[in-house]
């Protein structure tokens, strides 16, 4: 089983690979990085399960958001079909849609490059879903734009 010290060594390797110094955890294992002033990407080490929870604050829903938005979020998450195995949640105070994904720490630590690639894909997925949700039905506070499709990396 991996420990908090192992997690800190892992984050140091991710920092080295990406050059993002903000990838440093607090004493509880939480890392928060703002990406392109669009998303807060959070990583939380869960020592008891040996997993890393990645959660991304995506878009704030409006008070009059139609129920079909909620239906789309739930249906898209069925069997991880349209969410790459992650799931959506709603932060109740701000009504912000949050995307959640669990990494197996052993696998992430064994292949840092694959971990970073998965983070990039998560952000691309969040862009797709934010656009889909917004469709005139969510707050304009968060304005997604496509991530580079020309091979440029977001985290490197």
For residue 13, pLDDT beyond 90: yes
Report the chain's mean pLDDT, rounded to a whole number: 85
Read off the pLDDT of residues 107-133 as tens digits, 9 standing for 90 and up.
999 999 999 999 999 999 999 999 888
User: Given a cut of 90, is residue 22 above it in pLDDT?
Assistant: no
Structure tokens at 104: 């197996």
pLDDT band of residue 91 (cuts 50, 70, 90) is very high
> Structure pTM?
0.81
Tell me the C-alpha distance between 123 and 119, whole Å: 6
Q: Within a domain: residue 28?
A: yes
**Residue 156 counted as domain residue:** no
Place of tokens 């669009």: 38
Domain holding 75, by residue range, is 4-134
- Close Cβ partners of 3 (under 8 Å, ≥ 6 residues apart): 47
Query: What's the CATH number where 77 sits?
Result: 3.30.1460.10
pLDDT of residue 147: 33
Examine residue 82 and state whether it is found in any structural domain, yes or no.
yes
Model confidence at 32: pLDDT above 90: yes
- Does the pLDDT at position 100 exceed 50? yes
Inside any domain, residue 30: yes
The domain tally of the chain equals 1
User: What was the pLDDT predicted at 135?
Assistant: 79
Neighbours of 59 (CB within 10 A): 28
């Amino acid at each position: 089983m991996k420990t908090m010290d192992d997690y800190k060594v892992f984050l140091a390797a991710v920092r080295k690979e990406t050059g993002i110094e903000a990838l440093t955890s607090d004493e509880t294992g939480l890392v928060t990085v703002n990406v392109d002033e669009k998303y807060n990407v959070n990583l939380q080490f869960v020592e008891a399960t040996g997993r890393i929870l990645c959660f991304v604050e995506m878009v704030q829903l409006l008070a009059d958001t139609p129920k079909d938005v909620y239906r789309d979020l739930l249906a898209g998450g069925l069997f991880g079909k349209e969410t790459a195995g992650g799931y959506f949640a709603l932060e109740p105070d701000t009504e912000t849609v949050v995307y959640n994904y669990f990494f197996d720490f052993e696998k992430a630590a064994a292949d840092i490059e694959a971990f970073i690639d998965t983070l990039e894909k998560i952000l691309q997925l969040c862009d797709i879903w934010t656009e889909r949700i917004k469709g005139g039905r969510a707050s304009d506070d968060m304005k997604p734009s496509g991530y580079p499709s020309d091979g440029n990396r977001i985290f490197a």
